[in-house]
Amino acid sequence: MTMIFGIPIQALLGQLLVGLINGSFYAMLSLGLAVIFGLLRIINFAHGALYMLGAFIGYLLLVHLGIGYLPALILVPLAVGVFGMAVERAALSRLYRLDPLYGLLFTFGMALVIEGVFRFYYGVSGNPYAVPSLLAGGTNLGFMFLPNYRGWVVVASLVVCIGTWLLIEKTRLGSYLRAATENPELVQAFGVNVPLLLTLTYGLGAALAGLAGILAAPVYQVSPLMGSDLIIVVFAVVVIGGMGSILGAIVTGYMLGLAEGLTKVFYPEASNLVVFVIMAIVLLLRPAGLFGRDA
């Protein structure tokens, strides 16, 4: 068996794959956080709860209505996005003129409520969501065995991340978004409906979280707690990357997933901590974050 630094290469690659999967979710979630923060100046604490909501809606669609994975890939982001837009219209839009901390506190409360509701009805234990038959099984890559669904998650998250990046950097809607991030008043004075843009942006961020949730459902168990622990790691990712750059958020997400995977191989006890340690080091060396532009 081939060894690298005394570690069998299969184990190394296996953990790197796990890291890449985790990184895919970090990337999608920190991307959504960055998009929302850029325009709304709100740190969406409820992002983890929306991710959990996405997984749960997928699970409930399957269990109660028999709607499978493929339609859920469309329906879930739609549902979570609409939910997000309703929340923005009803509540977040009232907070824009206040200290951004209020947005953080409001979405924190929202996260508690969403999580609490699902805990109340479904308990804390996980519910399995079967891998769709289309993506079941695995492929032998020669040097390792790749479960098809995991490969799909990596590809799907890359497509989603690059697609979102293109939407923001290359389209007209994206140019409204970037301009409104710089100077919302002037963009609105030009005749762009900025309040609507804000609603759509939060909806987009929420839909991304929901999509990540349904993608995650077959990988992890569907559980009310799946979002809250993840969101804190994603916050650390966002601190490391800095929220000034969409691409930065994506790259940092994947990098930290891989770093976690590597740590699991060499020093498993610290794998929970490594993201936070990296955050501390980045704060010492580059307080604005790796891709940060703001002070």
Chain residues binding other proteins by CB under 8 A are 43, 91, 94-95, 98-102, 104-106, 108-117, 119-120, 172, 175-176, 178-179, 181-183, 185-195, 228, 232-233, 235-236, 238-239, 269, 272-273, 275-277, 279-280, 283-284, 287, 295
CA distances from 245 to 45, 165, 195, 249, 262 (A): 19, 10, 22, 6, 26
**Residue closer to other proteins, measured from CB, 36 or 204:** 36
β-bridge mates for residue 8, sequence order? 3
Q: Chain centroid to CA 224: how far? A: 16
Task: Quote the least distance from Cβ 51 to other proteins, whole Å.
Answer: 16
Q: Which amino acid is at 192?
A: V
What is the rounded CA–CA span in Å between residue 277 and residue 260?
A: 11
**Residue closer to other proteins, measured from CB, 10 or 272:** 272
Task: Quote the least distance from Cβ 127 to other proteins, whole Å.
Answer: 19
**Residue closer to other proteins, measured from CB, 176 or 291:** 176
Sign of CA dihedral 241, 242, 247, 249: positive
**Residue closer to other proteins, measured from CB, 187 or 212:** 187
Task: Quote the least distance from Cβ 133 to other proteins, whole Å.
Answer: 37
**Residue closer to other proteins, measured from CB, 112 or 156:** 112
Task: Quote the least distance from Cβ 106 to other proteins, whole Å.
Answer: 4
Task: Quote the least distance from Cβ 175 to other proteins, whole Å.
Answer: 4
* Cα 83-257-253 angle, rounded to 5 deg: 50
Task: Quote the least distance from Cβ 119 to other proteins, whole Å.
Answer: 6
Task: Quote the least distance from Cβ 41 to other proteins, whole Å.
Answer: 9
Q: Identify the CA nearest to 73 among candidates 63, 65, 61, 85.
A: 61
Which phi-psi region, left, alpha or beta, contains residue 7 (left: φ > 0; alpha: ψ -120 to 50)?
A: beta
**Residue closer to other proteins, measured from CB, 188 or 221:** 188
Tokens representing 86 are 């309703």
**Residue closer to other proteins, measured from CB, 131 or 279:** 279
